[in-house]
Structure 1
């Protein structure tokens, strides 16, 4: 037996001086404007602006510095002094820029002028706003509305999102996918079916009362660092944290609070998880089934006094079938599929049994699987057993990744017509909204490849970089008739254009939005269904920028026939009038929106499941009996691995701030494959060796990425890890959750091939 290589790891805690250094490096690298620090002081506070990074809640009583490392990076990135001007595009062809990496494209800085793509010269050239709107409107009038896509990333405000959805429906389409289609659409579908609410049931105050937190596939250290503050407080008052994740993420192991001088001086952090179980990729259904099986056995041992049978009888259906499935499932199969021992699962079960109030927290480690629905459904089963949904200090908590991605769905950006009050919109605006189901992200990609999609309007984001099967989608993208990208910075999606193409620069959320009615306020929704006002104060990066709302209105006016009930210019001049429209359409949730938007902690739009009102088909919360124990449908064979794609500590979604994944101990590169040392030895691989990853979906399409460096890492056998979005080309477009069509970026079947 040869000596195994040491696994790579970060030898400190999350937060601490490392977090401060990370922010400082970003400030220097992005050449942030002198006012950036003043802007950070108002971030996530009433009267200030709401962070464009994650969707974590904003407390009623904020810290002196109510931002995290990632939130600060997002703000510094937006307030860079670098500018991407028409001169830059005159000096670089689009095809030349395709060879640049993601980081270098965005490092060119803020876009300053509206640009038109000139196919003859392969350059972007400056244009006027009127020219852009007229051309976009002319193209949209010439095509079938059902062939046009209105995509939205998670950044746009509630006001912009509401009008964007209205524009699409007035035009004649429900093709309104958004970034939720790529991450938490599984949540929306599963929770809506099982508890009658498409979002989580918790609020921030619940973390002050819970006795146990069970984490599944969520990494607060990288994806939602402000979560670490209430998590730290919960642990210090005796709350237990049990984590299920293939990767040992530092944020759930130890945290040094940068706002606590004693911890900063001593370097002694708070230990977070009392138990950390490295479930194999795709093994969460089995792991949670093991927890449930233990609870059922313990209830029987205690004479039926553990499970909340009164709650189940009054509020639930399907319990008997679920119990029968748990009884019929062997521990041998649970251990095999989860990769965990029965003893470890039962130890976690004892934490659950001892807790009076339990919160189940999860992220894309549950949603982005072929059987993501069943992942979340099993967590719902676990929580329902003891009545942990619908009371203080307990509930289900999906952690959303992008600021306001949840809010966009709330105010109408959805391809599902049944989720939108179409009759109310028809009454308000005097038109007949389309009633057919629109396209999801997966269906958009399929439509681009088969030619049925003719136009794509992107309200923010980097769609083409974020989707699966990039090598197949990118060439087809250029066959579209029209592409429009609304953005603050240059990204890879802007380098693939339809026959008519425009790149439209917009204001950032931290910048002053001055319209005819004066400075404007926008609103966003956090992960806890609270609505917050956001007001930017910085000078815009260019006098040629327009707000996202003004751009949407400009395109709509150039496209749609006049309608006396549709007043685009009036709404652009005063966003308060748009909030009045939102309050009229969604009165129960948004009444008095203008008066409430700056309430400390935001105003709560409510959640029926939190009140134990179950808006399901049966009128009750639903137990389910899974037909499988693995969240992947890939059969394990020799040489096949389950790839998990992740984000780094120096990244937000497709935005790459730098090349430091500090919390995993990886510096200076993203071209890596993390692998268990035993698997390395079995495959005959050496540390630092360059290999290729080859897709193993078995659908006849070749998918391959060369030049990845082998890095030994603490992972379950058979699970390997690499970075998103670089490894997206390995994901087949057909590899998605069966219920929601969320791309399955976890447990992707791949093989490793050596390179000459």
Structure 2
């Protein structure tokens, strides 16, 4: 068994016989991390001015995470990864026609993800030439006309328009409109691979597809529960909010298979006194290393304790009035909780009854509780059930729909939530099609389109013929990546809109283009002058963003101009569809968004620069439940595990990780400072499991998917490293181990790939390799 921790112990202590980061998150370590990227990328002096405007009203909104922007920002309202993202965008390095003349696409495939992006900013529109296996320079007019001509030869239903989480609300709205005018709803986006489970499950249980909290709630909560979210690496500015909550006495409990340093200790880099004199802030009061897939069981255990305490108190713990007025399914839920034995809860969660009862007691004493979660809950076969149980716990004490309480997913990319708000969806029932008919005089397609996993399936079976990718690194981020790689070349059309070179650009189809666009920090000047764009953060706040930096190349176009250019070349003219006018003045696009979604975007242009953003509304926050039943719904779980199957003794459960020197598929460096690790070709496992499986430190192994469906899925050359993990669990880096995830291994309702719970086997390869800790 792995090292036990008891309720009387300090559950946040690190296991000293395995690597870990000895310092607090933030502080000097973050400053050094930013300094290293500054030295590496040599950005223009304007990058420093951009950072000083970042995430402030009227300034530039970070292209990294989707954490909210406060009404009263810090002097330095950016985190380590936010600064890295901006500096990465504003590098002096350029990747232009000369670079592509020197390197064939086949040669470029030998480079790492990090090396590809270090080549610098793309500067010119490029067309793939199969005869030379190189990208060659083209003009924008030629690109638009050729792409449009190719789209006109394809059946619209065989094409897919993909969107990364960076695209603005304005670009996303036009991209979705273009797709529907063209004739399809094939509009997958990056949320399909991370938080689509949120969109589907929260809609099912409380009637909204997003979280219910705003930033002010964190000033009034008494308890915060964290489940499956690594704030220290993925949304570090959130740590300031958590520090403020801890300073006023709020209790924080964390459930996560890995003890992440950001939820253990934090030093504010905004606070010189704390950085030099006062001690670090302890973030979590209790840190419980739940087994992958064991969150349902852990939540059942906490709920059982709450029910027990309610019965002991004579019914004063559970909010029975709220439940009677606002919920359904309570009796079935109660019966299931009482019937579930503690031994099964402990076995599935990997946690002690005493620990779960401690959490239950803390929850009973807290007047207002916020539930935080990330992809550790959503990326499972039964991720929807994780969220159903989480909602049930909050409903027990009326912790949804009042100040200081609620459910709050922490999203990844900066506008991944907002894109869905303005029409990036494959589901026509989620789109106000009557408004589109009225505004644009056409009949929108009503056939459900493809999400990301359906796109992968279409690549594999050949039913997808064309792709336009608005940003992202789709070929690298999808499940079943290696099976799909040969299929990209069979596409008739492959258009990639991008800022830097990545691996998705190295699998061209029969007709392929690489189109460079502005980054959000750069000035976007159109016929009516400089243009602002907007995005929606994790807390449903909408912010305007105005870039000021000189573009990396005079050849660059905005995403909006590129969308409009392709659409004009593809579609017949229509009086109501004014691509040129919209490109010249983005305020006109915001007027269209307001006209299409009047309840969410009233007075959009007037409120664009509202300090802290403007809230687009949330019915569950008002205790209006837009569910099938008209009420918030309790869940009676039929299983205690979110995994697709329980792993027998020869199997382990793989959890995929992102390092603190990474954002999604962008890898800034090869150290994972906040975990005390170095290198990305590693497989983490606790020392007891290492001994049980007769493995040794530094041994090179192959990891293979244990799902048997006729396809071999392996990743070779991983080095074994002892680490503080639960029994039965291994961890490795995303996207390197994506080939192990079958496209069909996904959440049952949302089809989000189950990256956090893949059954695998370890096969020895050869000798040991010396391991080196992170600096």
TM-score (norm 2): 0.97
Give the structure 2 partner of residue 505 of structure 1: 516
Give the structure 1 partner of residue 687 of structure 2: 677
Q: Is the 8 A contact 2:380 2:644 kept in 1?
A: no
Give the SS at the match of 2:407: strand
CA distance in structure 2 between the aligned counterparts of 1:746 and 1:588, rounded to whole angstroms: 36
CA distance in structure 2 between the aligned counterparts of 1:636 and 1:182, rounded to whole angstroms: 23
Give the SS at the match of 1:304: coil
How far did 1:594 drift? 0.5
CA distance in structure 2 between the aligned counterparts of 1:289 and 1:135, rounded to whole angstroms: 57
Give the structure 1 partner of residue 76 of structure 2: 65
How far did 1:5 drift? 9.4
Unpaired runs of 5+ residues, structure 1, are none
Give the SS at the match of 1:708: strand
Q: Is the 8 A contact 1:145 1:173 kept in 2?
A: yes
Give the SS at the match of 1:643: strand
Give the structure 1 partner of residue 479 of structure 2: 468
Give the structure 1 partner of residue 9 of structure 2: none
Q: Is the 8 A contact 1:195 1:620 kept in 2?
A: yes
How far did 1:635 drift? 2.5
Give the structure 2 partner of residue 75 of structure 1: 86
How far did 1:120 drift? 1.3
| Aligned counterpart in structure 1 of residue 548 of structure 2, from 532, 537, 552 | 537
Q: Is the 8 A contact 1:426 1:433 kept in 2?
A: yes
Give the structure 2 partner of residue 425 of structure 1: 436
Give the structure 1 partner of residue 236 of structure 2: 225
CA distance in structure 2 between the aligned counterparts of 1:493 and 1:570, rounded to whole angstroms: 32
Q: Is the 8 A contact 2:224 2:253 kept in 1?
A: yes
CA distance in structure 1 between the aligned counterparts of 2:156 and 2:278, rounded to whole angstroms: 59
| Aligned counterpart in structure 2 of residue 144 of structure 1, from 119, 130, 155 | 155
How far did 1:266 drift? 2.8
CA distance in structure 2 between the aligned counterparts of 1:267 and 1:180, rounded to whole angstroms: 40
Give the structure 1 partner of residue 561 of structure 2: 550
CA distance in structure 2 between the aligned counterparts of 1:594 and 1:511, rounded to whole angstroms: 21
Matched, 1:483 2:494: yes
Matched, 1:376 2:375: no
How far did 1:734 drift? 1.1
Q: Is the 8 A contact 1:256 1:267 kept in 2?
A: no
Matched, 1:124 2:158: no
Matched, 1:196 2:207: yes
Q: After superposition, give the CA deviation of every residue in 1:706-747 in whole Å (9 maximum; x if it has no partner).
A: 111111110001111110000101111111001000000011
In the TM superposition, 1:377-396 aligns within 5 A as 377-396=388-407
Q: After superposition, give the CA deviation of every residue in 1:543-590 in whole Å (9 maximum; x if it has no partner).
A: 000000000000000000110000000000000000010111111111
Give the structure 2 partner of residue 94 of structure 1: 105
Distance 1:399 1:260, change over 3 A: same
| Aligned counterpart in structure 2 of residue 445 of structure 1, from 456, 461, 471 | 456
Give the structure 2 partner of residue 271 of structure 1: 282
Q: Is the 8 A contact 1:370 1:736 kept in 2?
A: yes
Q: Is the 8 A contact 2:211 2:539 kept in 1?
A: yes
Give the SS at the match of 2:600: helix
Deviates more, 1:460-469 or 1:267-276: 267-276
How far did 1:646 drift? 0.8
Matched, 1:598 2:609: yes
In the TM superposition, 1:141-540 aligns within 5 A as 141-266=152-277, 268-540=279-551
Give the SS at the match of 1:222: helix
Q: Is the 8 A contact 1:449 1:477 kept in 2?
A: no
Matched, 1:748 2:761: no
Matched, 1:49 2:60: yes
Q: After superposition, give the CA deviation of every residue in 1:658-711 in whole Å (9 maximum; x if it has no partner).
A: 1120000012x1000111110011112111111111111111211111111111
CA distance in structure 2 between the aligned counterparts of 1:31 and 1:638, rounded to whole angstroms: 50
Give the structure 1 partner of residue 43 of structure 2: 32
CA distance in structure 2 between the aligned counterparts of 1:301 and 1:545, rounded to whole angstroms: 67
Give the structure 1 partner of residue 697 of structure 2: 687
CA distance in structure 1 between the aligned counterparts of 2:688 and 2:35, rounded to whole angstroms: 38
| Aligned counterpart in structure 2 of residue 709 of structure 1, from 719, 723, 728 | 719
CA distance in structure 2 between the aligned counterparts of 1:260 and 1:568, rounded to whole angstroms: 48
Q: Is the 8 A contact 1:5 1:712 kept in 2?
A: no
Give the SS at the match of 1:366: helix
Give the structure 1 partner of residue 731 of structure 2: 721
CA distance in structure 1 between the aligned counterparts of 2:254 and 2:693, rounded to whole angstroms: 29
CA distance in structure 1 between the aligned counterparts of 2:68 and 2:166, rounded to whole angstroms: 15
Q: Is the 8 A contact 2:647 2:759 kept in 1?
A: no
Give the SS at the match of 2:580: helix
